[in-house]
Amino acid sequence: MAFDYKAFVLRKLASVGPKYLPFADVATEDVPLSRLLRLSLFQVTVGAALVLLVGTLNRVMIVELSVPATLVAVMLALPLLFAPFRTWIGHRSDQHRSALGWRRVPYIWKGTMYQFGGFAVMPFALLVLSGYGEAVDAPRWIGLSSAAIAFLLVGAGVHIVQTVGLALATDLVKEDDQPKVVGLMYVMLLVGMVASALIYGALLENYTPGRLIQVIQGTAVLTIALNLIALWKQEPRDRARAQAMQTQVNVPFKEAWDSLVARPGMMRLMVMIGFGTFGFGMADVLLEPYGGQALGFSVAETTRLTAILAAGTLLGFGVASRVLSGPMPALTLGRIGAAIGIPGFLAIILASQGGGAAMFLAGTLATGVGAGLFGHATLTQTIRSAPRNRIGLALGTWGAVQATCAGIGVALAGIIRDIVVQIPSLGGLSAHAPYNYVFGIEVAFLVLAVLVATKAIRAPADIDREPAEAS
């Protein structure tokens, strides 16, 4: 009897194969929590990248590598330039053509590669930039351009991974579960940021160039490892969808964008997100120095401030996940979040006017809760108000607005404080005055966000309703 080797091998492969392939075989109705948790790992890498750029490298470049502060600021701002491209990337992933039926995986993978590549090159670029070893004699442009490339690569990677990753998460779950997924994604981002801040701080306590290379390249490896784990078997391979993709008519970006913006309430929502993110974002970098300089907190106490802020934000995410699964519209909750931030910042201001440390801590907690509620509610609202086939574009727009406003907020907070310090007539002589100007601006922007939200809620065309395709 002739043994049919080919059939035998094929049968074996068919039974073993799918287990080791990076796609889900079928799109199951209910995605278990463990799978979503795994997917949310990409947010951990995004959080780690953000902390490394904004927090750790900011200090290392200035203090240990003695790169001029202005150059550091410019380098760290480079990734922001990519933020508006999130809309385009999200749109591209909505209409991606793949023989495997994939829309999101190719982009997340590419983004991961860029993020990895940027981190892999970055330590050497920074060492050359700071004139380490023989690099003192090297032409200046080598260090400058390679550092710029490294930061741009990481920035592009982070933007792509986060935008398309969120779109994939939205694709996977049913509408009712979306608030929970949004909450999970936010929590994992926060977890990634807090954990990596602690780890980087401990690892770079005793700085050596070798340690810098280890830490940054370790982040690179961790990025690619976690993202692979996150992506594995998430998006189903789908021959029917692949067929449909071959014949689909691609909508030009401008047309898709116009129809998204024309949806009732979309513009208002984005403006509200911009104001609110800007308002909450400015405080991030100033709370710790404010506690230290104006209220005389020790370093350990100011670190605890960040912990309180993070705890408040977590609380906000948790409450929002729960509430938004119920009947409350996301916009209303977003307005509540922004409104909680206002007394929070007022309390922080009053703390230096005789309110004391307790008031400051309460204010910090309140702004944390407000920021959590606001961020969660507005992202949920973005997902809810976008049509299913434009999720990528909508999340790209959300990301572009959010990342740009948060970045500008952080930058402006520092600039405004420095300006007020320079001008004594504005009250720059007292330690708390420059900070209070910034906190005052934050209150103003949160008031604006509340007003826009109120207008959006009152608008006759309620965007919570599933509207017919705009125009």
Partner 1 sequence: MSDDPDKVWPTGLTLREAEEVHSYLIDGTRVFGAIALLAHILVAVSTPWLG
- The site for partner 1 (CB under 8 A) is made up of 6-7, 9-10, 13-14, 17, 98-100, 106, 109-110, 113-114, 116-117, 120-121, 124-125, 127-128, 132-135, 138, 142, 146, 149, 239, 242
Cα–Cα dist 131/1, whole Å: 74
In angstroms, what is the minimal distance from the CB of 188 to partner 1?
26
The torsion angles phi and psi of 314, rounded to 5 degrees, stand at -60, -45
Report helix, strand or coil for 118.
Answer: helix
In angstroms, what is the minimal distance from the CB of 98 to partner 1?
6
In angstroms, what is the minimal distance from the CB of 22 to partner 1?
10
In angstroms, what is the minimal distance from the CB of 94 to partner 1?
18
Give yes or no for a contact between 43 and 188, defined as CB atoms under 8 angstroms apart. yes
Which is closer to partner 1, CB of 127 or CB of 340?
Answer: 127
The torsion angles phi and psi of 70, rounded to 5 degrees, stand at -65, -45
Which is closer to partner 1, CB of 4 or CB of 258?
Answer: 4
In angstroms, what is the minimal distance from the CB of 125 to partner 1?
6
In angstroms, what is the minimal distance from the CB of 107 to partner 1?
12
In angstroms, what is the minimal distance from the CB of 371 to partner 1?
36
- Give the closest residue to 90 by CA, choosing from 407, 403, 374: 403
Cα–Cα dist 190/281, whole Å: 14
Which is closer to partner 1, CB of 45 or CB of 170?
Answer: 45
Give yes or no for a contact between 186 and 379, defined as CB atoms under 8 angstroms apart. yes
Q: What separation in angstroms does the CA of 271 have from each of 85, 275, 328? A: 18, 6, 21
Which is closer to partner 1, CB of 100 or CB of 416?
Answer: 100
Which is closer to partner 1, CB of 22 or CB of 84?
Answer: 22
The DSSP secondary structure of 36-85, one letter per residue, reads: HHHHTHHHHHHHHHHIIIIIIIHHIIIIIS---HHHHHHHHHGGGGGTTH
Cα–Cα dist 412/140, whole Å: 29
Which is closer to partner 1, CB of 156 or CB of 410?
Answer: 156
In angstroms, what is the minimal distance from the CB of 197 to partner 1?
26
Which is closer to partner 1, CB of 92 or CB of 432?
Answer: 92
Environment class of 416 (CB within 10 Å of its CB; exposed 0-12, middle 13-18, buried 19+): middle
Which is closer to partner 1, CB of 154 or CB of 463?
Answer: 154
Cα–Cα dist 50/471, whole Å: 39
Which is closer to partner 1, CB of 129 or CB of 273?
Answer: 129
Q: Side-chain half-sphere of 77: how many Cα atoms within 13 Å?
A: 12
Cα–Cα dist 209/305, whole Å: 31
In angstroms, what is the minimal distance from the CB of 239 to partner 1?
8
